[in-house]
Structure 1
Amino acid sequence: MAASRRGFSANLAMLFQEVPFLDRLKRARAAGFTAVEISTPELFSHRPDQVASALQEEGLQCVLFNMPAGDWTAGERGLAAGASREDFERSLSITVDYAARLRCPRVHCLAGLGSEKTSDEIYQQNLERAVRVLGTTGVEVLIEPINQRSMPGYHLSSLPHAAATIRSVSANLPPKLRGGRSSAAGGLKLLFDVFHCQIMHGDLTTNLRKYGAPWVARSLQLSQNMLGASQSHNNAAPTGQTYEQWIVRITTKYS
């Protein structure tokens, strides 16, 4: 869930799983959402015009989707850090088409598996390529650190690594595509996932304040798991707050 039931978007990879993919759009609208994000590869099993038509019919906006990430069932978790150039270019071409048809303003480029030392040069080259291609149409490219517990071996697994990556890639981009709030559209930004941050680093408020500017996109990922955590693991919540209170306060600023 990124930061309407207003201000929020329904993540169709996590919500309404009891029904087929396109039917989840109806469920999202019935639940009061006006926007969705799509982090499931099921998206690419449907033609972009078919998905666009379904979104329009329900009055929904797709605000984010994951780029094709390779063969998920075979263990691939993204193509940017280690796949062949041909595979990444194919993923990028598909992304350009879907982003245009769905009128989606941002995409998540998954890094994939691989050690930081051996894959970082390839990763940054591919990110720069994606930003240059998608940025011409005003689409932002997001990167998201994912904790090693949930995805062992994932290339991007800390906020400092993400921030360093954005700085390094942005230095090679024209000013209008450099990460930062001053860039109106396009560029490389951070997808700040509350769940992953809590596992990787803890101290949510401090880390969001530290990494929220200038790189964070207008997209925070919140998980129902975190709401449950506030009931059973209160020591993980920001000091003096439940997660519900923290979410209301922080999404007011970033949504």
Structure 2
Amino acid sequence: MPRFAANLSMLFTELPFLDRFGAAAAAGFEAVEFLFPYEHPAEEIADRLSEHGLTQALFNLPPGDWAAGERGIAALPDRVEEFRASVGTALRYAEVLGCEKLHTMAGITADLDRAAADATYLSNVRYAADRAAEAGRIITVEPLNPYDVPGYHLGSMRAGLEFLDAVDRDNVLLQLDLYHAQITDGDITRLIERADGRIGHVQVAAVPHRHEPGTGELDDHYALAVLDRVGYAGYVGCEYHPAAGTVAGLAWLDRYRDGGQR
């Protein structure tokens, strides 16, 4: 049965960030994820996790200048030193938060030399993986669709799996966001089967409006059952925009709350 993590960058945004941990626990979540923790001291976040009995499932490495539209720097040839420093920052947070998995964002490379960006991305992710392995952490890579993030370096799940072959590190795994995967690849059942144990984290949202699972074109419940069948045992991040308030939209979780899928 899926284990769900509330994405606190998208859910419970009616509340200040640090208050969202308690709201997630009150709604029945046992784990949380979010994009970035770096505006708050790691110890402050760890206190909220401990207070509410929550597990930190995932967060992202620093993305560069998010407000200016940057979406990661791992594939940017002129930002290697900044990226490597960001790995250290993320690992320090991961240690304090007890977080096993870190997502490494590639960045937008549409206007860059593709070969140079490819080589930089490969080298940087290997560096991050080797540093993470020393700390017992896992690095994830997540392809993003070209409508939400035009020009993103890793543009399909198929490309993500090919990258895993190239990077050749046991602790680098695919972050399978079913929302992005449906848009970029489709054929979700066979995609999950092809991933063959290389899925490190899963996220879910309805396509095309990124609202609650079960409200779009993909049968999210069926896709989650396929993940169960292939043995995925990690968390499923609820990374969607509530259509009409977070708590009001959580009824979709009822079929999972009694210990089984209905």
TM-score for the superposition, normalised by structure 2: 0.80
Q: Structure 2 CA distance, aligned partners of 1:12 and 1:232?
A: 22
TM-aligned CA distance change 1:249 to 1:189, over 3 Å:
closer
Q: CA deviation at 1:230?
A: 4.7
TM-aligned CA distance change 1:227 to 1:114, over 3 Å:
closer
TM-aligned CA distance change 1:109 to 1:207, over 3 Å:
same
Q: Structure 2 CA distance, aligned partners of 1:76 and 1:196?
A: 18
- Native 8 Å contact 2:179 2:206 kept in 1: no
Q: CA deviation at 1:8?
A: 0.9
Q: What letter is aligned with 1:220?
A: V
- Native 8 Å contact 1:142 1:189 kept in 2: yes
Q: What letter is aligned with 2:227?
A: I
1:139 to 132, 137, 140: 137
Runs of 4+ more than 6 Å apart: none
Q: CA deviation at 1:245?
A: 3.8
Q: Structure 1 CA distance, aligned partners of 2:226 and 2:54?
A: 25
Q: CA deviation at 1:210?
A: 1.1
2:127 to 129, 150, 162: 129
Residue 197 of structure 1 is matched in structure 2 by 181
Residues 90-169 of structure 1 correspond to what in structure 2 (within 5 A)? Answer: 90-115=85-110, 116-169=114-167
Matched, 1:25 2:21: yes
Residue 70 of structure 2 is matched in structure 1 by 76
TM-score for the superposition, normalised by structure 1: 0.82
Residue 174 of structure 1 is matched in structure 2 by none
Q: Structure 1 CA distance, aligned partners of 2:176 and 2:189?
A: 12
Residue 36 of structure 1 is matched in structure 2 by 32
Residue 67 of structure 1 is matched in structure 2 by 61
Q: CA deviation at 1:75?
A: 1.2
Q: Structure 1 CA distance, aligned partners of 2:132 and 2:212?
A: 37
Give 3-state SS (helix, strand or coil) of 1:166's partner: helix
- Native 8 Å contact 1:227 1:243 kept in 2: no
Give 3-state SS (helix, strand or coil) of 1:160's partner: helix
TM-aligned CA distance change 1:12 to 1:127, over 3 Å:
same
Give 3-state SS (helix, strand or coil) of 1:135's partner: helix
Counting helix residues as a fraction of each chain, which structure ranks higher? 1
Q: Deviations over 1:152-201 (max 9, x none)?
A: 0100011222122111111xxxxxxx33xxxxxxx111111100010001
Q: Give unmatched runs, 5+ long, in structure 2.
A: 234-262
- Native 8 Å contact 1:142 1:190 kept in 2: yes
Residues 165-180 of structure 1 correspond to what in structure 2 (within 5 A)? Answer: 165-170=163-168, 178-179=169-170
Q: CA deviation at 1:228?
A: 5.5
Q: CA deviation at 1:232?
A: 5.3
Give 3-state SS (helix, strand or coil) of 1:9's partner: strand
Q: Structure 2 CA distance, aligned partners of 1:8 and 1:232?
A: 19
Q: Give unmatched runs, 5+ long, in structure 1.
A: 171-177, 180-186
202-211 or 144-153, larger mean C-alpha shift: 202-211
2:52 to 55, 58, 62: 58
TM-aligned CA distance change 1:232 to 1:153, over 3 Å:
closer
18-27 or 6-15, larger mean C-alpha shift: 6-15
Residue 184 of structure 1 is matched in structure 2 by none
Give 3-state SS (helix, strand or coil) of 1:84's partner: helix
Q: CA deviation at 1:251?
A: 3.9
Residues paired across the two proteins, number: 226
- Native 8 Å contact 1:220 1:254 kept in 2: no
Q: Structure 1 CA distance, aligned partners of 2:152 and 2:100?
A: 25
